[in-house]
């Protein structure tokens, strides 16, 4: 597909990088020549310097022939204007980045009125991701499928824990909870394990389960299940606003430390249920003075990665139970300790994955494409949700008898509102939703792509 990306900042570059890997024809527009030169040198894309909200610039980029336009500049209003112009020039699909909380309640009206195909809000998506982790602090990541009825969660295995040394074939017998370990990261290697795989301390495992079984999973594995009652946010960013609003609805006490006085005044007016402190949140003495040691969770949300890393390191050092660090530059991950690396969340990657899922769905016939896409294990594993239709091969065939490709697992099946963690005796039926987990990124556009060959006669 021909795709035009307007805005070559952190979000724009990440989205462009992901779409290039998918083989799309891209044009990137920005008014910053330095950013465009870096993109042109790094990625195989066409770049155009200019104002993306200009009709002449969009025409020069070939917007009239584009299949999709993605506007991810820093300004919400610019993104909306870009989408309006693109639609007028004949581009059938437009995506806008809308960040401001003031627009949040009007998103559906904006989509309908301006004909937007999709709205992405990195800050709100990040806040929702963080709130999910605070619900069950022992999980390192949570990815939702089947409209929230099933999840893939990341856990680490402690030394001498219940899972240390356990063969996966013994998992249900030991836990009495229907779960499936669909991926394992061990010493920087990734495995899609079978029943013979033996877990060991230090592994990071990705487990599929019904959302309703998550608490049982934690209890059966011996993990602590503390309730988060008080949270300290370092930095009064947009993420902090969205997160505070979400946490207030669950009765969690929120304290925000922000160094800018004007921002503090705005936060106090916007978030009446939060305690807002005007102070330097990177000062260890101030953090102690404000009670960081009594907090159940600390979330580092400043706009400077280095500050977030330092605060997170300090919070870990004084043993705050749950620490989450927002980080934009993923290259820092290589030098972080495992404890800090486990708690990192990156808004631009969340947004890129949302857009990539939409683009993949555009390429497929209705009902056959990817419904939900999540990337796991540092983006080395993909979890893809598909609908099972009458055109799906091997219907009503036991999974153990299907010619499924290597390095792939059918991790979840949802049927009539029920979640099935499948065994070899389960099968796919028309109307099911299923999630596959694979290390072969970008190779599965339809559910039939998971099979090594078609059944005789083209149908099972």
Burial category of 283 from C-beta neighbours within 10 Å (exposed 0-12, middle 13-18, buried 19 and up)? middle
208 within 8 A of 413, measured Cβ to Cβ:
no
Of all helices (H) and strands (E), which one includes residue 26? strand 25-30
46 within 8 A of 19, measured Cβ to Cβ:
no
Burial category of 315 from C-beta neighbours within 10 Å (exposed 0-12, middle 13-18, buried 19 and up)? buried
User: Could you give the percent of the chain with pLDDT greater than 70?
Assistant: 97
More confidently predicted of 371 and 287: 287
453 within 8 A of 404, measured Cβ to Cβ:
no
Residue at token pair 């079984």: 213
Q: Per this entry, what is the length of the chain? A: 460
Give SS3 for 381. Answer: strand
| pLDDT in the model for residue 366 | 53
Structure tokens given for 53: 């909200």
Max mean pLDDT range (170-174, 222-226, 329-333, 369-373): 170-174
Residue range 70-77: average pLDDT? 95
Residue at token pair 């580092």: 300
Q: Burial letters for 71-100: b for 16+ Cβ neighbours within 10 Å, e otherwise?
A: bbbeebebbbbbbbbbbebebebbbbbbbe
Residue at token pair 């559910």: 447
**Pick from 189-198, 205-214, 368-377: least confident:** 368-377
233 within 8 A of 254, measured Cβ to Cβ:
yes
> What is the rounded distance in angstroms from the CA atom of residue 63 to the CA atom of residue 4?
7
**Pick from 68-72, 175-179, 220-224, 287-291: least confident:** 220-224
Give the domains, in start order, of the chain with CATH numbers. 2-120 (3.40.50.720), 126-221 (3.30.70.1450), 230-320 (3.40.50.720), 359-458 (3.30.70.1450)
Residue 126 pairs in a beta bridge with none
Give pairs for 424-428: CB < 8 Å, separation 24+: 424/398, 424/399, 424/400, 425/398, 425/399, 425/400, 426/398, 426/399, 427/395, 427/396, 427/397, 427/398, 427/399, 428/388, 428/392, 428/394, 428/395, 428/396, 428/397, 428/399
Return the closest-CA partner of residue 389 out of 369, 375, 368, 406: 368
| pLDDT in the model for residue 440 | 84
Give SS3 for 167. Answer: strand
Structure tokens given for 428: 């796919």
| Main-chain phi, psi angles of 4, to 5 degrees | -110, 125
> What is the rounded distance in angstroms from the CA atom of residue 200 to the CA atom of residue 162?
10
Structure tokens given for 5: 């990306």
67 within 8 A of 92, measured Cβ to Cβ:
yes
Residue at token pair 């990337």: 375
Chain segment 36-63, per-residue pLDDT in tens: 999 999 998 999 999 999 999 999 999 9
- Give CA angle at 311 (307, 313), nearest 5°: 115
78 within 8 A of 100, measured Cβ to Cβ:
no
**Pick from 221-225, 287-291, 294-298, 447-451: least confident:** 221-225
- Residue 451 is classified by DSSP as B
Residues with Cβ within 8 Å of residue 375, at least 6 apart in sequence: 349, 353, 381, 382, 383, 441
| Three-state secondary structure readout of 389-438 | CCCCCCCCCCHHHCCECCCEEEEEEEECCEEECCCCCCCCCCCCEEEEEE
> What is the rounded distance in angstroms from the CA atom of residue 89 to the CA atom of residue 83?
10
Chain segment 321-356, per-residue pLDDT in tens: 999 999 988 777 777 777 777 789 999 988 998 898
Residues with Cβ within 8 Å of residue 381, at least 6 apart in sequence: 183, 190, 192, 206, 375, 437, 438, 439, 441
Whether pLDDT at 105 is above 60: yes
- Give CA angle at 440 (434, 441), nearest 5°: 85
Residue at token pair 């990541």: 141
User: Could you give the percent of the chain with pLDDT greater than 90?
Assistant: 76
Residue at token pair 């009825």: 149
- Give CA angle at 12 (437, 83), nearest 5°: 105
- Give CA angle at 312 (306, 317), nearest 5°: 130
| pLDDT in the model for residue 420 | 94
Indicate the pairing of strand 46-49 with strand 25-30. Answer: parallel
């Amino acid at each position: 597909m021909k795709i035009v990306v307007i805005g070559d900042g952190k979000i724009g570059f990440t989205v462009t990088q992901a779409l290039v890997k998918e083989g799309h024809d891209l044009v990137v527009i920005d008014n910053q020549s330095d950013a465009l030169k870096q993109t042109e040198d790094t990625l195989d894309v066409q770049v155009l310097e200019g104002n993306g909200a200009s009709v002449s610039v969009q025409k020069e980029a070939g917007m009239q022939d584009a299949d999709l336009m993605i506007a991810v500049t820093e300004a919400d209003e610019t993104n909306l204007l870009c989408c309006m112009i693109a639609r007028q020039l004949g581009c059938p699909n437009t995506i806008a980045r809308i960040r401001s909380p003031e627009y949040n309640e009007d998103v559906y009206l904006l989509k309908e009125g301006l004909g937007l195909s999709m709205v992405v809000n990195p800050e709100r998506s990040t806040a929702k991701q963080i709130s999910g982790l605070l619900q069950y602090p022992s999980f390192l990541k949570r990815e939702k499928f089947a409209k929230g009825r099933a999840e893939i969660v990341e856990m680490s295995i402690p030394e001498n824990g219940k899972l240390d040394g356990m063969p996966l074939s013994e998992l249900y017998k030991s836990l009495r909870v229907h779960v499936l370990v669909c991926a394992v990261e061990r010493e920087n290697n990734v495995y899609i394990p079978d029943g013979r795989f033996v877990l060991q301390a230090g592994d990071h495992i990705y487990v599929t389960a019904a959302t309703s079984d998550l608490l049982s999973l934690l209890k059966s594995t011996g993990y602590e299940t503390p309730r988060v009652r008080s949270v300290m946010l370092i930095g009064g960013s947009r993420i902090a606003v969205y997160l505070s609003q979400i946490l207030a609805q669950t009765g969690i006490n929120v304290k925000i430390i922000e160094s800018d006085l004007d921002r503090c005044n705005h936060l106090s007016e916007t978030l009446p249920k939060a305690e807002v402190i005007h102070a330097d949140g990177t000062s260890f003495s101030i953090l102690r003075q404000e009670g960081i040691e009594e907090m159940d969770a600390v979330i580092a949300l400043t706009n400077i990665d280095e500050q977030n890393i330092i605060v997170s390191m300090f919070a870990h050092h004084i043993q705050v139970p749950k620490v989450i660090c927002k980080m934009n530059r993923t290259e820092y991950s290589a030098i972080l300790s495992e404890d800090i690396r486990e708690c990192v969340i990156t808004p631009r990657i969340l947004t890129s994955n949302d857009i990539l899922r939409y683009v993949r769905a555009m390429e497929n016939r209705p009902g056959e494409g990817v419904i939900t896409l999540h990337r796991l294990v540092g983006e080395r594993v993909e979890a893809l949700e598909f609908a099972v239709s009458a055109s799906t091969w091997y219907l009503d065939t036991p999974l153990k008898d299907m010619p499924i490709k290597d390095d792939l697992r059918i991790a979840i099946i949802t049927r009539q509102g029920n979640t099935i963690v499948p065994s070899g005796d389960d099968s796919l039926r028309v109307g099911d939703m299923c999630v596959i987990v694979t290390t072969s990124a970008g190779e599965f556009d339809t559910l039939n792509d998971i099979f090594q060959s078609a059944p005789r006669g083209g149908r099972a």
